[in-house]
C-alpha cells in the first residue's frame, strides 16, 4: 500500500497536511498518522472513511517510541510516497532560568526524532517521493529567549538541504518548510501567548492551509526550502546578508 507518514498529525499544520496530501497525491491510499493524542487521531480517521488511516499514538521524544515505529515499518513494509516530519515544540524564556527537561526535550523531538524517523523511512520510500521537514523562520537567525528552539530549527534546515542533495539520485525531494507564526497551540506550549512577546505579537501570521498546500507543491517541484509570504522571504534574505550580531538586536522574543 502506498502511504503518507505524518508526525505531529493530530492538530495544527500536521492536520492540514492530510487534506493537502489527499489533493496533491491521489496515488496515496493510506496514512500513518503519528501523535501523542490518540483520541484526536481517531477523530481524523473517522473524517476520512475512504482512506486507510493508522492512528499511531507515540511520544517521539522517547527512544522506545522510535523502536516501536521501526517495528511497525518492518511488519507493515509500506511504500512511502510522502514523509512529513511535523512533530516539534518550542519553549520561550531565559535559558538560565528555564526548565532543563523542556530545553533538552526540544532537541530530542525537533532534531533527534526527526533524524531517526527520516533514516528509518528512507528504505521504504518510493522513487519520486517527497520529504517535508517542518522548520521555522526561527531557523534563519539566533533568537534570544527562544534560543534552543531556533537552534533546533537551524539544524532541520541544514540537514534537509544536505539530504536534498544526497537523495536526488533516487528522485527523492527533501524540503525544509520554514513558516512564520501560525495560529496554533504552539504559542500556549511555548508560553508566548498574546501579550507575552512584543516581537511575536507584531509579526504577520501565515495561513495553515496555504503553508501545507504550498510547501507540498514546492517539494514536488524539487525546491529545497519553502517560506510563505513576501515579509518572511525578505527576512530570509536579510538573515543571509546581515551579521548575526546586528540581527540579535531585533530577534529577541
- For residue 65 the three cell numbers come to 517510541
4 contacts 20 by C-beta, under 8 angstroms? no
Q: What stretches of the chain show up as alpha helix (H) in DSSP?
A: 12-24, 38-47, 63-76, 100-107, 114-121, 147-166, 186-190, 198-202, 208-220, 230-241, 244-247
CB contact at 8 A, 228 and 211? yes
Q: Is 149 a catalytic residue?
A: yes
Coil/strand/helix, residue 90: coil
Q: Which residues make Cβ contacts (< 8 Å) with residue 126, sequence separation at least 6?
A: 2, 79, 80, 81
Write down the catalytic residue from 89, 124, 149, 232. Answer: 149
Q: Cell digits for 200?
A: 511575536
Q: Mark out the alpha helices in 97-207 (DSSP H runs).
A: 100-107, 114-121, 147-166, 186-190, 198-202
Contact (Cβ atoms closer than 8 angstroms) between residue 21 and residue 31: yes
Instruction: In whole angstroms, give the CA distance from residue 97 to residue 62.
Output: 24
- Residues belonging to the active site: 149
Amino acid at each position: 500500500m502506498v502511504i503518507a507518514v505524518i508526525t505531529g498529525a493530530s492538530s495544527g499544520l500536521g492536520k492540514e497536511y492530510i487534506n493537502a496530501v489527499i489533493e496533491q497525491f491521489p496515488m496515496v491510499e493510506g496514512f500513518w498518522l503519528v501523535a501523542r493524542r490518540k483520541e484526536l487521531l481517531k477523530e481524523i480517521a473517522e473524517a476520512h472513511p475512504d482512506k486507510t488511516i493508522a492512528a499511531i499514538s507515540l511520544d517521539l521524544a522517547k527512544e522506545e517510541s522510535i523502536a516501536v515505529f521501526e517495528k511497525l515499518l518492518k511488519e507493515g513494509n509500506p511504500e512511502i510516497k510522502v514523509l512529513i516530519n511535523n512533530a516539534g515544540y518550542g519553549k520561550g524564556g531565559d535559558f538560565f532560568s528555564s526548565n532543563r527537561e523542556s530545553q533538552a526535550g526540544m532537541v530530542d523531538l525537533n532534531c533527534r526524532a526527526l533524524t531517526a524517523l527520516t533514516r528509518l523511512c528512507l528504505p521504504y520510500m518510493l522513487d519520486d517521493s517527497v520529504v517535508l521537514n517542518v522548520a521555522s523562520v526561527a531557523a534563519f537567525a539566533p533568537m534570544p529567549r527562544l534560543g534552543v528552539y531556533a537552534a533546533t530549527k537551524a539544524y532541520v534546515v541544514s540537514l534537509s538541504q544536505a539530504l536534498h542533495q544526497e537523495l536526488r539520485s533516487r528522485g527523492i525531494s527533501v524540503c525544509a518548510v520554514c513558516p512564520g507564526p501560525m495560529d496554533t497551540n504552539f504559542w500556549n506550549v511555548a508560553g508566548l501567548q498574546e501579550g507575552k512577546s512584543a516581537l511575536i505579537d507584531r509579526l504577520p501570521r501565515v495561513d495553515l492551509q496555504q503553508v501545507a498546500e504550498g510547501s507540498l507543491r514546492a517539494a514536488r517541484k524539487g525546491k529545497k526550502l519553502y517560506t510563505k509570504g513576501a515579509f518572511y522571504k525578505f527576512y530570509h534574505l536579510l538573515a543571509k546578508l546581515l551579521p548575526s550580531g546586528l540581527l540579535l538586536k531585533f530577534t529577541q522574543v
